[in-house]
Amino acid sequence: MTNWRIKSVRTTGLVTVCCALAALAAGSAVSSTLDPGGEARSMARSAHYLMLQGNVDQAIALLTQVREREPHVLMEFPEDKLQLDPTASLADCYELKGRWSDALALWEETLPLYPEGEVAAAHIGRCRAKLAAQGAQLNPVAFVSRAGMFKPPVMDAWAGNSLVAVRPACEGAGGAVAWDRSSWSASATLGDKYITFTLGSDVAVANGREVALPVAPYLNADWRMMVPLRTLAEALGGTVEWAPEPQIVYVTLPQPGGAEEPGPPSQM
């Protein structure tokens, strides 16, 4: 995740559809990296027309068939510098029908495919907020800049604290993690900042100073060291924001080269 800022998530699908229709009206050539025959691409194109016209159920039926052939067919409109993914289009359709759980599953599937996944991240937040409003019990998740989304088993909650697996969180953000087997400790480094956690100890060493931990680091079932997320982020120069409705922790870490990192997406 490199950019959490997004002006609107609700219009994403319709803007995409309008751009696609404009390209089609201009007689543009459409290419696909995954569907050279063009049949699935043609079906997805028809689905976009149907969605724009309000025939969402028919669009869902077509897009479901496309996904059965190719889960992620990229449709390119070169003159608009636009790429469409039928999985994201199907997730948009599910949102229009109020099928928030189905939409959430597809956005989570889509998110890892795009390093610049701020749109999917914002949709995930929207779907989770809608589900929470309907009374759904949600496990907290975290978005760590450039590292992606964290949920069980690489995220956990303990006594009101969020914990993450230290290696994927730090390395995914461009940092490094060194493991010292003799002391059962892990040192996370990002730029000129570092923090060292020791298994079972409620004290860490961050940038030369001892820091009290709300929860001592432990190994999860996958043998990953779980550490307090806020402590990790702040020691590495980052910030942490909690969105209570969708149950999401947004962690913004600095770029390893020192560039400023934008904050989380606006909640709708």
Could you tell me if residue 266 is inside a domain? no
Could you tell me if residue 5 is inside a domain? no
pTM reported for the whole predicted model = 0.74
- The total number of structural domains in the chain stands at 2
What integer pLDDT is reported at residue 255 of this predicted model?
82
Could you tell me if residue 38 is inside a domain? yes
Q: Are residues 201 and 240 in the same domain?
A: yes
Confidence of residue 228 (pLDDT cuts 50, 70, 90): very high
Could you tell me if residue 224 is inside a domain? yes
Question: What DSSP letter does each residue of 85-122 carry, written as one string?
Answer: -HHHHHHHHHHHTT-HHHHHHHHHHHGGG-SS-HHHHH
What integer pLDDT is reported at residue 35 of this predicted model?
46
Query: What is residue 238's three-state secondary structure?
Result: coil
Domain CATH for 58: 1.25.40.10
Q: Are residues 119 and 147 in the same domain?
A: no
Q: Which residue has the tokens 């570092």?
A: 194
Q: Are residues 152 and 101 in the same domain?
A: no
Average pLDDT for 205-209: 96
Q: Are residues 145 and 129 in the same domain?
A: no
Average pLDDT for 220-241: 94
Six token digits for residue 142: 């975290």
Could you tell me if residue 258 is inside a domain? no
What integer pLDDT is reported at residue 208 of this predicted model?
95
Could you tell me if residue 219 is inside a domain? yes
Q: Are residues 29 and 56 in the same domain?
A: yes
Report d(CA 115, CA 98) in Å as an integer. Answer: 27
Q: Are residues 99 and 199 in the same domain?
A: no
Confidence of residue 216 (pLDDT cuts 50, 70, 90): very high
The parent domain of residue 100 ranges over 12-133
Best-predicted range by mean pLDDT (71-85, 129-143, 156-170, 253-267): 129-143
